[in-house]
């Protein structure tokens, strides 16, 4: 892993070991992608933190196995980043997240409510990976994003059609960041989000 310190790499390695152990019992990542944990999942998640510099609050929606939330929390330890709120309604996955936070000494908490039922979090940055198509995802983002906040949303090869559909239901500004791990994927940075 380029551009990560030895301490961060050690914590990421410990996180991956936990992920692999727990993934045998509960489905945290697709079994077909376990061989690609570092190249597909960790490297992908590492791209988000630099886009969310100098913020005081960050929530990761639908955290599942902690991608990208736990990876961002690991990076934040070194850079003095914000405490993370990981939102995961599945109790078993939430238990995994809490165990990882405790074992890795991370500054993060877990909310085990449904995204649409949870009190508005009013955070500066929201991330969500593989949670929902963009038009639906922006409804979740709008509920929890604070004023002048931004969403960092990794999207795959269908991102342009999702963006087009979302623009029919929502008004927002956006930047497209090319993924460093997949030539067909991007990170959408969404700001000034309002219903159309």
Indicate which CATH number applies to the domain containing 17: 3.40.50.150
**pLDDT at position 140 over 70:** yes
Tell whether 148 is covered by a domain. Answer: yes
Average pLDDT, the chain: 94
pLDDT at 43: 92
**pLDDT at position 52 over 90:** no
Beta carbons within 10 angstroms of residue 80's beta carbon? 8
**pLDDT at position 32 over 70:** yes
* pLDDT-above-90 percentage for the chain: 82
Q: Judge contact between 187 and 132, C-beta under 8 A.
A: no
Name the residue with higher pLDDT: 1 or 61: 61
**Enclosing domain of residue 136:** 6-195
Report pLDDT digits (tens) over 144-184.
Answer: 999 999 999 999 999 999 999 999 999 999 999 999 999 99
Q: What is the mean pLDDT of residues 50-61?
A: 91
Tell whether 95 is covered by a domain. Answer: yes
Model confidence band, residue 21 (pLDDT cutoffs 50, 70, 90): very high
SS3 57: coil
Tell whether 1 is covered by a domain. Answer: no
Domains contained in the chain, number: 1
pLDDT at 29: 87
Model confidence band, residue 2 (pLDDT cutoffs 50, 70, 90): low
The CA-atom distances, in angstroms, between 76 and each of 18, 85, 107, 126, 138 are 19, 13, 8, 15, 25
pTM score, whole prediction: 0.95
pLDDT at 102: 97
| Spatial separation of the C-alpha atoms in residues 33 and 38, rounded to whole Å | 10
Tokens of 59: 């929530």
């Amino acid at each position: 892993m380029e551009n990560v310190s030895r301490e961060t790499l050690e914590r990421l390695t410990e996180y991956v070991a936990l992920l692999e152990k727990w993934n045998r019992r509960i489905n945290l990542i697709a079994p077909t992608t376990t061989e690609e944990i570092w190249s597909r999942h960790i490297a992908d998640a590492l791209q988000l933190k630099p886009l969310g510099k100098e913020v005081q609050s960050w929530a990761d929606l639908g955290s599942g196995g902690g991608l990208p939330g736990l990876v961002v929390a690991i990076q934040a330890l070194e850079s003095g980043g914000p405490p993370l709120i990981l939102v995961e309604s599945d109790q078993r996955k939430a238990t995994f997240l809490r165990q990882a936070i405790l074992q890795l000494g991370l500054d993060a908490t877990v909310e085990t409510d449904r995204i649409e039922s949870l009190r508005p979090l009013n955070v500066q940055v929201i991330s969500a990976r593989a949670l929902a198509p963009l038009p639906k995802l922006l409804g979740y983002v709008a509920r929890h994003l604070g004023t002048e906040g931004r969403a960092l949303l990794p999207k795959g090869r269908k991102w342009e059609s999702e963006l087009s559909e979302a623009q029919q239901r929502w008004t927002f500004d956006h930047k497209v960041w090319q993924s460093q791990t997949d030539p067909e994927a991007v990170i959408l940075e969404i700001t000034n989000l309002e219903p159309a």
